[in-house]
Chains A and B, each alone.
Chain A
Amino acid sequence: MEELRIGVFICNCGTNIAGFLDATDVSDYSRGLPGVVFSRENLYSCSEAGVSDIKSAIVENKLNRVIVAACTPRTHEPTFRATCEDAGLNPFFFEFVNIREHVSWVHKKEREAATRKARDLVRMAVARAALLEPQTPIEASVIRRAVVIGGGISGLTAARELARKGIDVVLIERERKLGGLVSGLYVLGPVPRDARAYVASLVADVRKDRRIRIMTGATVERIGGYIGSYMVGVRSRGKASEIDCGAIVVATGAVPLKPEGVFGYDGKKVISLFEFQDRLRKGKLRGRRFVMITCAGARDRERIYCSRICCGSAIKDALLVKELDPGSSVHILYRDLMCYGVENEGILRAAKEAGIRFVSYSKDAPPVVEDGVVRVEGDVMGEELAIDADVVVLASPLVADEGASELSKMLKVPLDADRFFLEAHVKLRPIDFATDGIFVCGTARWPATTRECAEQALGAAARASIPLLAGRVEVEPAVAVLGDEDLCRGCGMCAALCPYGAIEIVETDSGEKASMIEVACKGCGTCAATCYMRAITMVHYTDDQLRSQVNVAFEEQATRAGGAVAEPGAAAPTGAGGSK
């Protein structure tokens, strides 16, 4: 066997890591571990300088295993695997240790213990690295068809954009009509635009595109498969069908909260902003004195979040009223006016110029709606105001669609605490899911203006088009395999438990056996843990590899308890540790 030459790189992450543990000590310590021939600290391992440093260290020291102790594999494992590959090393000879999220960030006030924990984790990684084996990614072909779930403006925009790229699209809408929430609105903001005309033009584009198949009155019943080859089971107007596709875009939207129990909502004189829009559109708005209350059911204990669009919508509607009837009076009671950006702030100024009154109230002293009058402790004036109102309008938040929960289970993608879909990374991957081949846009993700929905929809179409147009994808080879077919008794427990439908029981010459669909497997390990015959092996996470980590974790503790190993900082191998 080839001699082990392990290199260990300890990332300082500026002060993110090195500020809370002794990175020099960890680096020096790791040099004394079996098989380690090289160790070094990097200020930022992921920077171009850090990466090229690792690369040249691999070449110069003939490293055949590389360990980086840094941050999260979610963002940086691909970076360092690519670094290994560039240096001529199989990327699966790379091992990541997370000493930021798992150590420095959570042990900010325990420098010594944090350093010790980082040592433990690196030691465990070294043990595992010794047993790593080269792997090659699994390739799979991609069906050039996308399923878009949701026929509101986001889904329509995404479907149209995908079709324009030459991709077949199946658009699935739960209602019998396309258009979603916006088709029930009147005028969109902040730049006034006719809601129905906008929806109509989108629907017309989608209808005339022969690449788009529209299914209305359709519900998704089950979803199986993986990137490149998903199966979406749909029931449309009583008939069940299956659609094969390579990628899925989730555009299921959100619903306006009906503010029952909030500020005396009765649907007649105290109505929601959406009902107000409806009356405006139908010309059925009665009254001349209007009081609008924002954050009606939002930014409270039950719904912590701000729904982003209500302030702007309320102001836009208040301006419509003033335009219709300049003599009317409109008060907007608010906590913070969320008029972010250029256009929202612009309509806020216009509203003030139009004579719309703004009264700020505090969360602790909310307005009280009585018959025909709203009482509010205007906190800027410090006096209670009694404002006469013919109609009270409640600007309530968008809330997650109830169907989101079930759909998320079928897609095996998560929801956040507010029941909106949770993207792969809230900052850096806002329209991807962590699961490959599934994307999200519009208010299914978070409340958004129509412009923001359109942006996200175009973005989701772009993201989805990458595998669809490439025609092939590479899938992580860390999957379950039937390591020992003779041991398998074909009991089917693994197939029954697999959350991804990646195992089937097949008849072979030697009886019934499990058969793995590699591309569908996510490597969760449920099957291997279940198999009482130990016939299943997890590639890249073998029992031996994991056991080696556990063994060394406890070994050190035993010696430490016996006082045989020096504490960090006391006498590190080169004496450099603890110098700070």
Chain B
Amino acid sequence: MAKCPTKVADSFNVGLGERKAIYLYFDQGIPSVMTIDEDNCRYFATGKCKVCEKMCKKGAVDFEQKDHRVSLDVGAIILATGLSVMDPTPLTQYGYGRIPNVITGLEYERLINATGPTGGHLLRPSDGELAHRVGFVQCAGSRDLNHCDYCSSVCCMYSIKDAMLGREHDPESVSHIFHTDLRNVGKWFQRYQIRGEEEYGIKFVRGRIAEIQHGPADNPVLWYEDTRTREVASLEVDLVVLATAALPSLDAKELAGTLGVKVDRYGFVLTDDATPSSTNVKGIYACGFCKGPCDIPESVAQASAAASSASTRVLGNK
């Protein structure tokens, strides 16, 4: 990997860092095996290079490897295809892609992560300076009749968590969270929210952001109406984080079509409330975000539920 001459944007770091054309998906990725990105590898493009093959003492690089089709006879299938996030570029009022220091929640996650492109320091894209003042914009595309009219369910909590992480890394960090309803409904979530406010100094502002302007020194300026005080105000920050809407994974609809599984108009797999892991197709079950927004404990419980339905069928009792 070290000798590979080709650098490409690292998709795991949502494009924030670079990786080589031969790469590990990420440090804790499973399986922990290098892979070659055929689209960007110099050998596949020009027929020359193979530096990695020459360097590898164990002879583990094989350019002749081909994709192959596998047929499996199974008694049950479980769909657990998860989610993707909305590209916020169409939300032009927020200036994503136009104002350099407006990023998404996922990008923030990579920046604040020790193995991320900045080693866990919240360095903003425009100048690599540490961002102290952060504005979190909730419902970016969610609960929005023009985009996703549903609630993505997990953003209120992850924004609070992100703001807390910011403060832990940098005692001078001040986060404002601009929200509509704060939907922290899970076990102990209210306590978490209170802790965020009292111990981490998070400022909660009830109001949707109307517009983000490109301010001086590339600082984003948030314009909003605080619906508690009924005042229109603006706030200049170092960095804006958009809690972008969560969508079904990109090929979920296609997969559902192949399998004959019914999905709703957004592409989430439809199941019945009484038999919540069974799809309309006998023997095909679903769990997690592919059925609709849900958090980690819900996903884990649903995964056990789908495993139960599948195993009951495979064990031959129903």
Chain A: residues with CB nearer than 8 A to chain B? Answer: 12, 14-16, 18-19, 43-44, 46-49, 52, 108, 161, 164-166, 188, 191, 193, 198, 201-202, 299, 304-306, 308, 336-346, 349, 360, 362, 379-382, 416, 420, 426-431, 441, 445-446, 449-452, 454-463, 465, 469
B90 nearest CB across to chain A (Å) = 20
A43-B115, A430-B301, A459-B304 given; A340·B293 CB < 8 A: yes
A341 and B293 contacting across the interface, CB-CB below 8 Å? yes
A166 and B317 contacting across the interface, CB-CB below 8 Å? yes
Within 8 Å CB of A338, what residues of B?
181, 183, 185
* Contact among A341, A431, A446 for B294, CB-based, below 8 A: A341
Chain B: residues with CB nearer than 8 A to chain A? Answer: 27-32, 113-115, 119-120, 143, 149-151, 153, 168, 181-191, 194, 227-228, 230, 264, 266, 268, 273-277, 292-294, 296-298, 300-309, 311-312, 315, 317-318
* Contact among A15, A19, A339, A379 for B151, CB-based, below 8 A: A339
A382 nearest CB across to chain B (Å) = 5
Within 8 Å CB of B307, what residues of A?
459, 462
Chain B residue with the shortest CB-CB distance to A190:
B273
Bound CA–CA A104/B1 (angstroms): 33
Bound CA–CA A451/B275 (angstroms): 8
Chain B residue with the shortest CB-CB distance to A298:
B190
Within 8 Å CB of B168, what residues of A?
108
A193 and B273 contacting across the interface, CB-CB below 8 Å? yes
Within 8 Å CB of B305, what residues of A?
454-459, 462
B191 and A52 contacting across the interface, CB-CB below 8 Å? no
A305 and B304 contacting across the interface, CB-CB below 8 Å? no
A165 and B312 contacting across the interface, CB-CB below 8 Å? yes
Within 8 Å CB of A360, what residues of B?
227
B266 and A342 contacting across the interface, CB-CB below 8 Å? yes
Bound CA–CA A52/B182 (angstroms): 43
Bound CA–CA A394/B318 (angstroms): 43
Within 8 Å CB of A305, what residues of B?
187-188, 190-191
Within 8 Å CB of A461, what residues of B?
308
Within 8 Å CB of A380, what residues of B?
227, 230
* Contact among A18, A48, A191, A462 for B304, CB-based, below 8 A: A462
A193-B273, A462-B304 given; A306·B151 CB < 8 A: no
Within 8 Å CB of B114, what residues of A?
12, 14-16, 18-19
A16 nearest CB across to chain B (Å) = 7
A428 and B150 contacting across the interface, CB-CB below 8 Å? no
Question: With A337-B181, A339-B183, A430-B301 given, can you name 16 additional A-B contacts, CB distance below 8 Å?
Answer: A46-B28, A48-B28, A164-B317, A304-B190, A337-B183, A340-B183, A342-B266, A345-B151, A346-B150, A379-B228, A430-B300, A431-B304, A441-B301, A454-B273, A457-B305, A459-B305
A455 and B190 contacting across the interface, CB-CB below 8 Å? no
A49 and B27 contacting across the interface, CB-CB below 8 Å? yes
Bound CA–CA A165/B309 (angstroms): 10
Bound CA–CA A362/B276 (angstroms): 36
A340 and B302 contacting across the interface, CB-CB below 8 Å? no
B185 and A306 contacting across the interface, CB-CB below 8 Å? yes
* Contact among A52, A345, A379 for B150, CB-based, below 8 A: A345
A188-B273, A430-B301 given; A336·B183 CB < 8 A: yes
Chain B residue with the shortest CB-CB distance to A161:
B308
